[in-house]
Amino acid sequence: MPRRPLSIDADLSITVDGAPVTVRGRGATLMVEVPRLRTFRQLADAAGATRTEWLDAALRHGDLTLEIRCDGTVLGRLGAGAQPNASARLLRLAQAEVHPARAARVAARHHPWAAALAGAGLAALLLWWRRR
C-alpha cells in the first residue's frame, strides 16, 4: 500500500519573550513567522538548532517543508522543499536552505542606522584598500 503524504492545516500563535510568533500549516509547508531576528535566534537556541539532521529527516520522511520567515521574508527552509545552498554548507547545515543576505536586509530594515554605519565603514575600508 503506497504511503499517503502528510498534509498540515493549522494556525497557532505563541509568544516568545513578549514577541508574537505565528505558526501556520498549509498543505506540505509549515511556516514559522517571527517579528524580529532576535526572536528567531531565541527559538533556534531553545530548539538546539545547530543539529538539524533529525528534524530534516523527519520532515523529508513526511514530505514536509519547514519555512522560517521574518517580517514576511523567507530566511530558510528545511525538509523536502529545501534546496541546500553554499551558505548552508558554510554554516554546517548542509541539508538546509539558508539565506543570510535576506536576513541582513531584514536587519537593515529594523535597524537602519546600524546598517548605514556598517555601509559607511565598509565604504571607508574599500577606499583605504584601493588607495594602498
- With a CB cutoff of 8 Å and minimum separation 6, the contacts of 21 are 13, 14, 15, 32, 33, 34, 35, 39, 43
12 has a pLDDT exceeding 80: yes
Q: Which residues of 30-57 are buried (b: 16+ CB within 10 A; e: fewer)?
A: bbbbbebbebbebbeeeeebeebeebbe
Higher pLDDT, 54 or 74: 74
Residues 21-58: pLDDT tens digits? 999 999 999 999 999 888 888 887 776 655 678 888 88
Predicted local distance difference test score (pLDDT) of residue 53: 81
